[in-house]
Amino acid sequence: MSVPNIIETVNITHEISWLPWAVSYFFFVAIAVGAALTSLMWTVLRRPDWENAARIDILVMWSAAVVAPVALLADLHQPARFWHFYANFTPWSWMSWGAYFLPAFAAVSIVYGWLVMRPVLPRWLRLGSGDYSGLIKPMALLTGLLALLVALYTGSEVMIVKSRPLWHSYTLIAFFFFSGVSASAAMGLLVNAFLAESGSETRRTTGAHLGRVMALFSLLTLLTGAVWLMMGMGGGTNPEARALAVVSASPHWQLLGWELLAAFGISAIFGIYARKLWFGALLGLVTLGGAWLLRWAVFIDGQLIPKTGAGFYDYALPQGPDGLLGIIGIFGLWLVVIIIESVVMRWTPDAAAPFSEIPAE
């Protein structure tokens, strides 16, 4: 009588491959995309009341477009790997397309922002005295197109991973996009609070516009969450149902859900009151926290769900550059960039004359 062989499969705990650097990258690139698109309200649609808000969007777009690639290169562990995307182009890979979309967006956004802010730049940065205002609209449209392509690629490169039900959902693209536009308006409120005078009517108008954008896209983020939840509760074998079955009984994931609901809910309800300077800044911090938490839940907590087996992996945030120090460093870099921008520019949201009427030196 033969004895059958018994094969026992033991689940292996893997270290996370997408570090907090990835959270920082997806956070700042979404802000850059959102700020670029929001600025089109003045540069393309020519809404005169959006002029100052659009220029704050330009400052936010510039700062985030500089910081995001730094976080991406850090997440590659070895920055020299970046050239492999160009040496081995794979048209079926969203990451491969992203290697072209992201640098193109960063380069074009710099030129676009330069055209918009040129009248108040120092003379040595204006590159002559010619009139290039006719290029603003076409460059704005090109920047907007590239921003949409970046938003599509950043969402799709995560959504395409079928082995993780939490990621493999088309709602993830909408989550990243809507929360990113909301976060860009929130960051604009912070910049507005520090650049403008508290009694300025221009500042209040700017805050009102950015607050409405923040409220609208926070609401769209919540509606996307409701769609995901209904798809999950519908049962079946779709990724949403499988992901919800895993996380619904976890107290940690339940808390994450309530925290996200609170952050974007507060933003959606009270965003219309962002005319008040420091209240708008406070709402901005809450919204930025929600956008960051959403990406942390997707990337870091999402990797703690085993592909096979039960339970969750353990993760402790490292204190070094791959953890807390890296997060502090990337936000510190953003702060340095935005300070440099504010020092170089000879403009604030309180400018009495329209931007186009500010005389050049």
Task: List the one residue out of 140, 170, 148 whose CA is nearest residue 158.
Answer: 170
- Model pLDDT, residue 260: 96
- Model pLDDT, residue 358: 40
Task: List the one residue out of 32, 49, 62, 40 whose CA is nearest residue 140.
Answer: 40
- Model pLDDT, residue 155: 93
- Model pLDDT, residue 352: 44
DSSP for residue 308 = S
- Model pLDDT, residue 40: 95
CA 46 from centroid of its chain's CA atoms: 25
Query: Are residues 307 and 12 in contact, defined by beta-carbon separation less than 8 angstroms?
Result: no
Query: Are residues 299 and 22 in contact, defined by beta-carbon separation less than 8 angstroms?
Result: yes
Burial class (CB within 10 angstroms; exposed 0-12, middle 13-18, buried 19+) of 105: buried
Task: List the one residue out of 179, 287, 163, 276 whose CA is nearest residue 228.
Answer: 179
- Model pLDDT, residue 77: 72
- Length of the chain, in residues: 361
What ranges do the domains of the chain cover? 20-310+342-351
Query: Are residues 287 and 264 in contact, defined by beta-carbon separation less than 8 angstroms?
Result: yes
What does the pLDDT profile of the chain (361 residues) look like in tens digits? 555 666 555 556 666 778 899 999 999 999 999 999 999 999 998 888 888 889 899 999 999 999 999 998 888 777 666 777 777 888 888 888 888 999 999 999 999 999 998 887 888 888 877 788 889 999 999 999 999 999 999 999 999 988 888 898 999 999 999 999 999 999 999 998 887 665 567 778 888 899 999 999 999 999 999 999 999 998 778 899 989 988 888 899 999 999 999 999 999 999 888 888 788 899 999 999 999 999 999 999 888 887 766 667 778 888 888 889 999 999 999 999 998 888 887 666 655 444 454 444 4
- Model pLDDT, residue 348: 65
- Segment holding 172, helix H or strand E: helix 171-195
Q: Is 77 left (phi over 0), alpha (psi -120 to 50) or beta?
A: left
- Model pLDDT, residue 361: 43
What residue type is 35 in one-letter code? Answer: A
Residue carrying the six token digits 């300025």 = 200
CATH class of 20-310+342-351: mainly alpha
- Model pLDDT, residue 234: 83
b/e sequence 58-90, b meaning 16+ C-beta within 10 Å: bbbbbbbbbbbbbbbbbbeeeeeeeeebeeeee
CA–CA separation, 38 vs 100, rounded Å? 23
- Segment holding 309, helix H or strand E: none
- Segment holding 103, helix H or strand E: helix 94-117
End-to-end CA distance of the chain: 98
CA–CA separation, 214 vs 191, rounded Å? 14
Cβ partners under 8 Å of residue 353, min gap 6:
none
CA–CA separation, 192 vs 189, rounded Å? 5
- Model pLDDT, residue 204: 81
Cβ partners under 8 Å of residue 301, min gap 6:
252, 253, 256, 315
- Model pLDDT, residue 354: 47
CA–CA separation, 266 vs 285, rounded Å? 11
Query: Are residues 197 and 65 in contact, defined by beta-carbon separation less than 8 angstroms?
Result: no
Cβ partners under 8 Å of residue 292, min gap 6:
23, 27, 183
